[in-house]
Amino acid sequence: MSNTETKEAPYKPTSPNSKLDFESVWEYAPAPQDSDFAEIKERYELFIGGKFVKPSKGRYFKSTNPATEEEITEFAEATQKDIDKAVKAARKAYEGEWSRISAKERGKYIYRIARMLQERAREFAVLESMDGGKPIRESRDVDIPLVAAYFFYYAGWADKLEYAFPGKKPEPYGVCGQIIPWNFPLLMLAWKIAPALATGNTVVLKPAETTSLTALKFAELVKDCGLPEGVVNIVTGAGQTGAEIVNHKDIDKIAFTGSTNVGKIIQKSLAGTDKKYTLELGGKGALVIFEDAPIDQAVEGIINAIYFNQGHVCCAGSRLLVQEGVADKVIRKLKDRLETLIVGDPLDKNTDVGAINSKEQFETVNKYLELGVEEGADIYQAKCEIPENGYFIRPTLFTNVSQSNRVVQEEIFGPVLTVQTFRTADEGIEKANNTPYGLANGIWTDKGSKIFKVGSKMRSGVVWANTYNKFDPTSPFGGYKESGVGREGGMHGLAAYIKN
Catalytic amino acids?
280, 314
The dihedral sign for the CA sequence 400, 405, 406, 409: positive
The long-range contacts involving 222-227, CB below 8 angstroms and separated by at least 24 positions, are 222/47, 222/50, 222/113, 223/47, 223/50, 224/116, 225/109, 225/112, 225/113, 225/116, 226/109, 226/112, 227/50, 227/109, 227/113
DSSP character at residue 488: B
Dist CA 258 CA 286 (whole Å): 20
Q: Output helix, strand, coil percentages for the chain, rounded to the nearest 5.
A: 40, 20, 40
Encoded amino acid at 337, one letter = R
Dist CA 197 CA 189 (whole Å): 12
* Burial class (CB within 10 angstroms; exposed 0-12, middle 13-18, buried 19+) of 17: exposed
* Burial class (CB within 10 angstroms; exposed 0-12, middle 13-18, buried 19+) of 436: middle
Mapped onto helix, strand or coil, the DSSP state of residue 295 is: helix
Closest CA to 253 of 211, 208, 195, 207: 195
Dist CA 212 CA 181 (whole Å): 10
**E strand or H helix at 299:** helix 295-307
> 178: which residues sit within 8 A by CB, 6+ positions away?
192, 193, 196, 203, 204, 205, 206, 254, 255, 256
Backbone angles phi, psi at 204, to 5 degrees: -125, 110
* Burial class (CB within 10 angstroms; exposed 0-12, middle 13-18, buried 19+) of 9: exposed
Per-residue b or e along 285-310, where b marks 16 or more CB atoms closer than 10 Å to that residue's CB: bbbbbbeebebeebbebbbbbbbbbb
